[in-house]
Amino acid sequence: MAISSRLVPVLSESDQSKLCVALLLSLEALISYRRRYRARVGIQTSLDLVMMDPTNPRSLMYQVEQLRQHIGALPKTPTQMHELSADERRILEC
């Protein structure tokens, strides 16, 4: 049993599906989800798309990677040329 199921009431499959559709709609990702998975909307695949998909511009992982690239492109002082800035270290910790 997952830890999350001990913290919140377990929803019916129908309610879980409705919640996932609402999440995907709010992130404008429902069409991408349907194109990719061609299956009934599920929690695991929905969260995978919006959290961990490096090719989805609306996913958290994609945004963290973009942030890392932008911070990496900022000018550095000569003493910082071979070390990570504090911001770069924080991004890598994500």
- Round to whole Å and give the CA distance between 85 and 53: 26
Task: Tell me: pLDDT of 35 over 70.
Answer: yes
Kindly state whether residues 27 and 43 are assigned to the same domain: yes
Closest to 24 in 3D by CA, of 7, 8, 5, 40: 40
Write out pLDDT tens, residues 50-85: 999 999 999 999 999 998 898 888 787 777 667 777
Kindly provide the b/e burial profile for residues 7-34, where b requires at least 16 CB atoms within 10 angstroms of the residue's own CB: eeeeeeeeeebeebeebbeebebbebbe
Per the structure, the count of domains in the chain is 2
- The answer to whether the pTM exceeds 0.75 is no
Domain extent, residue 66, equals 59-94
Q: Tell me, yes or no, whether 8 and 48 share the same domain.
A: yes
Judgement on whether residues 47 and 3 belong to the same structural domain of the protein: yes
d(CA 36, CA 33): 5
Is residue 4 domain-shared with residue 48, that is, in the same domain?
A: yes
Query: What pLDDT does 42 receive?
Result: 92
Check whether residue 48 and residue 69 sit in a common domain: no
